[in-house]
A = this chain, B = another copy of it.
């Protein structure tokens, strides 16, 4: 059953005043709701700067820092995006394409031991794990910062949500947005992580558009209720598509909908395009199947390839925040040479 990797925090006075998971600084990135609005704004300002760094060719400041991508389930695009980010900072990368298949861990070694060991020769670990609490378990024992690159089946994928939000931020003020989140929402890691983030902003309204049996789970809805965020559950794309500022489309696997007609009725194609606002934004975390027609690619409202590029900037920015933090902590483990 999909669950947040830690229990939802108690409601605070205002969603914009959430305190971060571990004080104002960022130690690990486990779930999207740990980001406060000030922290998001700092991240986005840095991401903006990274666009300029990349345009100039990159940086060399991090030439002595090592990032390890520890992927127990393969994801070529997410892994390469993190690795490109570290390289554009001038850093170094240790990489596992499929540690799940290629490690004695299959014979019973625990994630915790691997993280402790890899943490003794890396400065930051990016982990993708097939279990819902994988990233949390890693963060709990790691001597260096851990970034969740997707965990579980209904877990989180916080950096995807951060780059999604950054893509909107680059085009539009975030307060007052109306957003349609479409697809297979019960298992949608990216949709779930994004809903938590959008909830931080003022006067946001979300429409969750999905066949009823695939709707957003109660944990998210409770979170939104507790924080006073407006949302509607909708099964008909036509009733919302003309009024929203952002369409966040996600994958629908054919085997999870009851019939082909149903599948097609949640797809975006040139007909649906014509009914959208002229300045709407179309986002999709990719990869796609039939729910996003190729005819949409040339439309200026299509943001999904720009999202992929923004992922580079946001991950660069996030790495700098985590590594500066680690630096100021004095790299305690490294100096312990007793």
Contacts and interface: CB of A to CB of B under 8 A. Distances in A.
Interface string A153-184: 00000000000000000000000000000000
Nearest to A315: B121
Interface stretch (A13-21, A75-83, A274-282): A75-83
Nearest to A116: B305
B95 A95 contact: yes
B84 A54 contact: no
Interface stretch (A102-110, A130-138, A257-265): A102-110
A1 interface: no
A103 B74 contact: yes
**Most B C-beta atoms less than 10 A away, residue of A83, A87, A121, A305:** A121
B101 A80 contact: no
A318 B57 CA distance: 20
Contacts of A213: none
Name the residue in A77, A88, A101, A305 with the highest tally of chain B Cβ atoms < 10 Å from its Cβ: A77
A12 interface: no
Interface in A77-99: 77, 80-81, 83-85, 87-88, 90, 92, 94-99
A64 B84 CA distance: 11
Contact of A80 (B54, B55, B68, B85): B68
Given A80-B118, A308-B120, A287 B94 contact: no
A121 B287 contact: no
Contacts of A312: 120-121
A103 B76 contact: yes
Given A105-B287, A308-B117, A66 B94 contact: no
A64 B57 contact: yes
Nearest to A102: B74
A289 interface: yes
Interface centre among A85, A101, A104, A114 (most CB of B within 10 A): A104
A75 B103 contact: yes
- Those 7 A-B pairs whose CB atoms lie nearest each other, nearest first: A74-B102, A109-B287, A84-B121, A57-B64, A120-B309, A58-B64, A117-B308
Given A88-B121, A121-B308, 4 more contacts: A74-B101, A113-B286, A116-B305, A120-B308
16 contacts: A51-B337, A55-B335, A58-B64, A64-B88, A74-B103, A76-B99, A87-B94, A105-B287, A108-B289, A109-B288, A109-B289, A113-B287, A116-B308, A117-B286, A120-B309, A120-B312
